[in-house]
Amino acid sequence: MSRILLLVAVSIVMSSQKEVVIKNEKCRTCNFLVSTFDEGLKKTARHHFAGGDTAWEEKNLGKYKTSETRLIEVLEGVCKKSSLPNIDKFTGISELEFKCASQLEKHEETIEEYYYNQQQNNMSIWLCVEELKLCCPGGHFGKNCEECPGLKEGADACFGKGACHGDGSRDGSGKCKCEAGYTGNLCRHCDNEYFEESKTEKGVVCKQCHEGCLGICSSEGSKGCSKCKNGWAMIEGEGCQDVNECSNQSACTKDHEVCVNTIGSYQCDCEEGYKKDDEGKCQLDVEAHPDRPFMPIAQQLKIISFSSLIIIITFVVWHGSPVLYVLTGIAIVALILVDLYVNPDTIPDEAKRFLGLY
Ligand SMILES: *[C@@H]1O[C@H](CO)[C@@H](O)[C@H](O)[C@H]1NC(C)=O
Ligand SMILES: *[C@@H]1O[C@H](CO)[C@@H](O)[C@H](O)[C@H]1NC(C)=O
């Protein structure tokens, strides 16, 4: 029982939050009628006087402009989708042609009045707004075509930064739905992460804060931030600056990892010749380096030097010369020092090539 009540409560809350979609079908159907009618007027004018421009047609159409012959020709294409090059504006209305034809039939006299006596007017406004009262003029909504917020103050609907619910239709609530970056009932304020660049009676202009800012900011750039996002630090006189996480030794510590700093963060990539396995560990990438040495260079060096040492010692013992004993002692000490203090990574490439390590 209580679960059902909860469900009902939840669905009520959800439906009250959902924006009511205005179908506005009658108004749009009327505009479809007007568009096809207009297209017919243009087409017949072209047929009658091929090649003339609008002003030229106006002067030369003469009696044909309001003749019955022309009206019949125009009506042939009215309410037909095929009359328009593009019907995107009218998608979503089922049986559009049929509904349009019904309007045409119902309001035949008014449409004829337009044709014979009102062609100087904008047909969409004259017919759909003023005569048939199916639409409201731009910036107006609802049964009585009330003004959208902002018009009273001499500004555009929703102060130019939002959509007025029901704008242009005989429906809707007139509430503003603000564009990204704007907020408030009238879209006259800047949203979080935006700052006010300018403000007049016509509305406000908001711009996005710097990417390092957290929440509000006072101006453009990193210096405008009040607080910084994670991965950014407030530096005196500089504002929010990207933190180079890689300068922290404990950023990437697994074997063969290298730290790569990114804006606002960092990532641990594998060093060259390695790639991540399924567990995210960096493993030698065999495919990428088929000609990589079979053994690390340091090890190869050791093997070469120690086998040379053994050969020398054998030679010295065989000869039994005291001078050679001294020289061999020096060589052994030198070898141990090299082994302890020389980093194989710092050996020049030419030297490695000379030793046959590649
Ligand atoms: C008629 O007015 C409507 C709405 O203001 C406008 O969109 C349309 O372009 C106008 N038509 C002509 C032919 O000027
Ligand atoms: C370095 O990183 C570690 C672990 O992510 C963190 O606990 C530590 O505070 C960092 N040190 C500095 C100086 O940022």
Q: Kindly write down the DSSP assignment for every residue of 110-174, as one continuous string.
A: HHHHHHHH-TTS-HIIIIIIIIS--B--TTEETTTTEEPTTTTTTS-GGGGSEEETTTTBS----
Neighbouring C-alpha atoms within 13 Å toward the C-beta of 307: 5
Residue 292 CB partners (closer than 8 Å, separation 6+): 273, 284
Contact 239, 219 (CB under 8 A): no
Give CA–CA dist 110/115, Å, rounded.
Answer: 9
**277 CA from centroid of ligand 1 (Å):** 63
Between 238 and 14, name the one with better pLDDT. Answer: 238
Contact 61, 41 (CB under 8 A): no
Q: Which ligand is nearest to the CA of 231?
A: 2
User: For 94-132, what is each residue's pLDDT tens digit?
Assistant: 999 999 999 999 999 999 999 999 999 999 999 999 999
Atom of ligand 2 nearest to the CA of 248: 1
Q: Which ligand is nearest to the CA of 121?
A: 1
Q: Whose CA is nearest to atom 2 of ligand 2?
A: 250
Name the one residue in this structure whose structure tokens are 């030679």: 315
Q: What is the mean pLDDT of residues 333-357?
A: 69
Residues above pLDDT 70, as percent of the chain: 83
Per-residue pLDDT at 240? 95
- Domain range list for the chain: 2-134, 245-284, 297-355
Average pLDDT across the chain, whole number: 86
Q: Whose CA is nearest to atom 12 of ligand 1?
A: 122
Q: Which ligand is nearest to the CA of 35?
A: 1
- Does the C-beta of 250 come closer than 6 Å to ligand 2? yes
Q: What is the mean pLDDT of residues 232-258?
A: 92
Per-residue pLDDT at 3? 59
Give CA–CA dist 128/124, Å, rounded.
Answer: 5
- Largest separation between any pair of C-alpha atoms in the chain: 133
**232 CA from centroid of ligand 2 (Å):** 14
Q: Whose CA is nearest to atom 13 of ligand 2?
A: 248
Element (DSSP H or E) covering residue 355: none
| Spatial CA neighbour of 148 closest among 125, 176, 122, 124 | 176
Contact 269, 258 (CB under 8 A): yes
Atom of ligand 2 nearest to the CA of 245: 14
| Spatial CA neighbour of 61 closest among 82, 81, 44 | 44
Residue 142 CB partners (closer than 8 Å, separation 6+): 136, 166, 170, 171, 172, 173, 174
Per-residue pLDDT at 56? 62
**287 CA from centroid of ligand 2 (Å):** 35
**257 CA from centroid of ligand 2 (Å):** 17
Q: Which amino acid is at 99?
A: K
Give CA–CA dist 269/281, Å, rounded.
Answer: 10
Per-residue pLDDT at 65? 86
**124 CA from centroid of ligand 1 (Å):** 6
**121 CA from centroid of ligand 2 (Å):** 73
**248, 254, 259, 267, best to mutate for ligand 2 pocket (most atoms within 8 Å of CB):** 248
Per-residue pLDDT at 72? 95
**124, 134, 136, 167, best to mutate for ligand 1 pocket (most atoms within 8 Å of CB):** 124
3-state secondary structure of 106: helix
| Spatial CA neighbour of 74 closest among 127, 111, 26 | 111
Q: Which of 22-31, 82-91, 317-326 has the lowest mean pLDDT?
A: 317-326
Per-residue pLDDT at 236? 92
Q: Whose CA is nearest to atom 11 of ligand 2?
A: 248
**253 CA from centroid of ligand 2 (Å):** 12
Give CA–CA dist 32/137, Å, rounded.
Answer: 16
- How much is the pTM? 0.61
- Does the C-beta of 249 come closer than 6 Å to ligand 2? no
Give CA–CA dist 357/249, Å, rounded.
Answer: 32
Contact 256, 269 (CB under 8 A): no
Residue 15 has pLDDT above 50, yes or no: no
User: For 46-101, what is each residue's pLDDT tens digit?
Assistant: 877 665 566 665 667 778 888 999 999 999 999 999 999 999 999 989 999 999 99
Q: Which residues contact ligand 1 via a Cβ below 6 A?
A: 122, 124-125, 138
Atom of ligand 1 nearest to the CA of 38: 13
Element (DSSP H or E) covering residue 252: none
Contact 320, 314 (CB under 8 A): no
Instruction: Enumerate helices (H) and strands (E) in the chain, giving the number of each.
Output: 10, 16
To the question of domain 245-284 being in CATH 3.40.50.12780, the answer is no
Contact 96, 102 (CB under 8 A): no
Beta strands in the chain (DSSP E): 140-141, 146-147, 162-164, 176-178, 182-183, 189-190, 194-200, 203-208, 213-217, 225-228, 232-235, 239-242, 257-262, 265-270, 274-276, 282-284
Please give the DSSP secondary-structure letter assigned to residue 271.
Answer: P
